[in-house]
Amino acid sequence: MKTRYIPRFPVKCRLKLVYLYFLLALALAAGMCTVAVMTDGASALWTRCWGWYLLVFLAWQVLVHPHVVLNETRIEIINPFHTHMIDYETYSKVLPVAQNTNPRTTEKTRPYKPSGLRNPECKIRHVLI
């Protein structure tokens, strides 16, 4: 039975809008190369269009190529010029950075409110020296 909640590995995560941006860059480059060929002939493909080829290549490398792949054993983060691989065991041992930052549970231990005013419910008093 197929379900949409259990993914089949590997799962690739990528923004869908980047394909549109890449196609726009490709259409712009194709249009400009067509204009160059119509004005200067076929030799313009090698002399005047190299900048547009570079634009398409950079659009591919920066927009479409980066993605995240989730496998059964690891997470792969693929950037334009480097790939990071993180095992799930290593990732699960990462401690959370912020601990107990909920204002409802810490309001009695914080001397100041988020507005900057003194908290009258705080039991801890700071002594100025």
- pLDDT score at 54: 93
Q: What pLDDT sits at residue 80?
A: 85
Instruction: Round to whole Å and give the CA distance between 68 and 14.
Output: 7
Q: Which pLDDT tens digit goes with each residue over 71-107?
A: 888 889 998 888 888 887 776 665 555 555 555 555 5
Structure tokens at 110: 């914080």
Q: Give the pLDDT confidence score for residue 28 in this predicted structure.
A: 93
129 pLDDT more than 50: no
- Find the mean pLDDT for residues 46-61: 90
- Residue 78: what are its φ and ψ, rounded to 5°? -105, 115
Percent of the chain surpassing pLDDT 70: 68
Supply the DSSP string of 20-35, one letter for each residue: HHHHHHHHHHHHHHHH
pLDDT at 35: 93
pTM of the model: 0.54
Rounded Cα distance, 70 and 61, in Å: 20
Per-residue pLDDT of 13-29, as tens digits, reads: 888 888 888 999 999 99
The mean pLDDT value for 59-67 works out to 87
Q: DSSP code of 1?
A: -
pLDDT at 66 over 50: yes
Q: What's the mean pLDDT when you consider all of the chain?
A: 79
